[in-house]
Chains A and B, each alone.
Chain A
Amino acid sequence: MTPEAIVAIIASGLVSGSLYALMASGLSLVWGTVRMFNFAHGALVMIGAYSGWYISNRGGLAKVLQPIGRNIANNSEDWGLIGDILHPLGEWILSIKAGFGLLLGVPLAIIFCGIAGYVIYIFLVKPFVGKPGADLVVIITTIAGASFMQNGVQVIFGPRYKQLDRILKGPPVEILDTAIGLQEVLIIVLTPVTLLLLNLFLKRSKLGLAIRAVAQNDDFARLVGINVNQIYPLTFVVSSMLAGLAGLMLGGLFFILPTMGSEPLLRAFVVVVFGGLGSLPGTIIGAYVIGLIEQSSAYVFSLYWAPVVLFATLILVLIFRPRGLMGGENS
């Protein structure tokens, strides 16, 4: 193995590891707190990418708004006082022909994913919380939800592939003669920052502490006055926002299509099982380990065999350490 190859493997391993870490930490957070497994998590990744594209791209929301903007700008003089107020709005809409840009697209897409996560919780999870066998029922309902979102997006956006603009444009960074794209570098740097912020939120903020309290013992959390019925949806919202961020990153690297979330979701399953369900540090370490294993086995064997190696690893871990490599007794 040449040093160039090693750098390339590490770089691509860190990129996939980052994406898996963002997805799996959300899954793990929900499992730890609500004791449910969200199979619609991959669809949320896809929703993040599509909503980011819709807001930022010229072919999305901007295109839909143009006729409205033109209507306001041309006719507002006849509308009296309201027209005077609306006129600048029409001019403004006309000026954003090229889309709202990623500066607005990224935060709005993440917020939208948070809302989607809340909707998923209300319709697919909440009615079953506390009933016997709820964890299995929720698997079924969230699979149905994922299928609904995938097919719904296909109805709305059609089968044609989309792509997000790259956030950073410029020549790739060269490390030991290996070129690494700026988008990749951004993902590698931004993910640990996000996870650090998540950690701070969970350890320092009142809501984060409440989430951890519910995760450890929801009966006692109730006793000290935490409203568990608010913490459950909050966990879904946080986890969905992480999934949305992963989708925005993925959408800048590859094409956006309705099924784009399924493959990373499967990897995220491997990660959470590998790291131990409900253990956040285990999940994050597991994500990077899995990313590196996947990329190096793609190099050593072939692109086809890498996922086979991955799933064989997962099955072996499940047989010999079903609670994961770092999972505790109660996870």
Chain B
Amino acid sequence: MMHFLDAYKKPLALVGIIIFLAIPLVVENKLLIHLAILGMLYAIVASNWDLTLGYAGVFNFAHLAFFGIGAYTSGILTVKLGISPWLGIPCGAVTAALASIIVSIPAIRLRGIYVALLTFACSQLVLLLLLSQPLITGGQQGLTGVPQLQIGDFLFRESKYAHFYLVGLLLLCSTVFLRRLVSSDFGLSLIALRDFEEYAVARGIPLARQRLLAFLFSSIFPGLAGGVYAHFLIVASPDIFGFSLATLLLSMVLVGGVATIYGPVVIGVVMTYVSELMASSAWMSDVFGVSRGPVRFMFVAVLIVLTMRFFPQGVWGLVNQFSARSLQAKNTTVEDPA
């Protein structure tokens, strides 16, 4: 199937894009469109996380902090300084990139569990700094009154297409960027460092520089997505740094398939739908009684553990495996008569 995909890459991509463009024209339900936008934003964050987590093999726990920094930077600049959101969003990407460099400098000196602890501490430090300045950041309640996106008099929230196409474009750019990156020499050098560090270093791959660049490249699109997220929901909330969102996004990367990029993109959108629909559907409340919100996170948690246990390569990894097997089968049948 994958080789079929490879052979007809361009026409298939074109068909995919056309179907995608048609979605808001066909779908009437506003909730579904809203979820699609949210799902695509999460897909951007998850697929970029795959760069450090999957390709570089660095256990980076500060990734959601880049998303949060993007949201807060754009939010604060627009609310407190009155800058246009179109300038605020790129500024968010710049601060997220700076933060990624600051985090990666100590992180590349460490190994294994210590990287996880350090990046975790960094992300908590960002959260605590935000909470310690309630006058600027809104503290625990979050920064409210973030202006919505508009061009001239056209308000993005009034139209059901505008946010959808904007975020879709961002997701497309992010995915193309990531796929190009991981199939380039740079991506190969990251994989080499992950799989056999000593040998890769002996062959002259600069470990520190490649890891720093991996952090940097993985922070730009989440920074942009964070800004769009804040203007889309007109709030920047400290919940971004919480355990629950981190678990959800982690599940997108893992269930989608580590080191695939496409996996987290597809599963990111799907998981957002599933988890949000679970939180809002009536049968969940009938089965589980009062609270529905927590149940979906329990479901996500079980899904993560089952994936790690039985399909550590994720959904996309399974697809790859099957297509490789079918190709092998085809090759042997061709060779047998000869």
Contacts and interface: CB of A to CB of B under 8 A. Distances in A.
A314 B312 CA distance: 32
B128 A322 contact: no
Interface string B237-266: 000000110110011001000000000000
Contacts of B312: 137
Given A135-B112, A151-B295, A158-B291, A140 B117 contact: no
A135 B308 CA distance: 13
Contacts of B116: 37, 136, 139
A159 B290 CA distance: 10
B133 to A, nearest CB: 8
Contacts of A159: 291
B181 interface: no
In this complex, the interface size class of chain B, counting residues with CB under 8 Å from chain A, is 35 or more
A269 B301 contact: no
Given A139-B59, A147-B300, A262-B243, A269 B305 contact: no
Given A152-B298, A155-B295, A304 B132 contact: yes
Interface string B105-124: 01001101110111011101
In this complex, the interface size class of chain A, counting residues with CB under 8 Å from chain B, is 35 or more
B244 to A, nearest CB: 7
A152 B301 CA distance: 11
Interface of B: 59, 106, 109-110, 112-114, 116-118, 120-122, 124-125, 128-129, 131-132, 243-244, 246-247, 250-251, 254, 288-291, 294-295, 297-298, 300-302, 304-305, 308-309, 312
B250 A150 contact: no
Question: Chain B interface secondary structure, helix, strand, loop or mixed?
Answer: helix
Given A155-B295, A159-B291, A308-B132, A144 B301 contact: yes
Nearest to B244: A147
Interface in A126-179: 127-128, 135-137, 139-141, 143-148, 150-152, 154-155, 158-159
A155 B114 contact: no
A270 B121 contact: yes
Contacts of B106: 315, 318-319
A148 B299 CA distance: 8
A60 B47 CA distance: 45
B109 A304 contact: no
Interface of A: 31, 37, 123-124, 127-128, 135-137, 139-141, 143-148, 150-152, 154-155, 158-159, 259, 262, 266, 269-270, 273, 277, 304-305, 307-308, 311-312, 314-315, 318-319, 322
A162 to B, nearest CB: 16
Contacts of B295: 151, 155
B291 A155 contact: yes
A266 to B, nearest CB: 6
Contact of A144 (B118, B122, B247): B247
B109 A311 contact: no
A158 B132 CA distance: 29
Given A155-B288, A318-B121, A148 B128 contact: no
B302 to A, nearest CB: 7
A318 B305 contact: no
Contact of B294 (A151, A308, A314): A151
Contacts of B122: 311, 315
A150 B125 CA distance: 23
B273 to A, nearest CB: 19
Given A151-B295, A159-B291, A273-B117, A143 B305 contact: no
A307 to B, nearest CB: 5
A268 to B, nearest CB: 11
Which of A135, A137, A158, A311 gathers the greatest number of chain B CB atoms within 10 Å?
A311
B305 A141 contact: yes
B124 A266 contact: yes
A168 B64 CA distance: 44
A151 B293 CA distance: 9
A144 B244 CA distance: 9
A56 to B, nearest CB: 24
A37 B118 CA distance: 14
Contact of A311 (B124, B247, B288, B300): B124
Given A136-B112, A311-B128, A322-B110, A141 B117 contact: no
Contacts of A143: 243, 246-247, 250
B247 A128 contact: no
A150 B121 contact: no
Contacts of B298: 147-148, 151-152, 155
Contacts of B128: 304, 307-308, 311
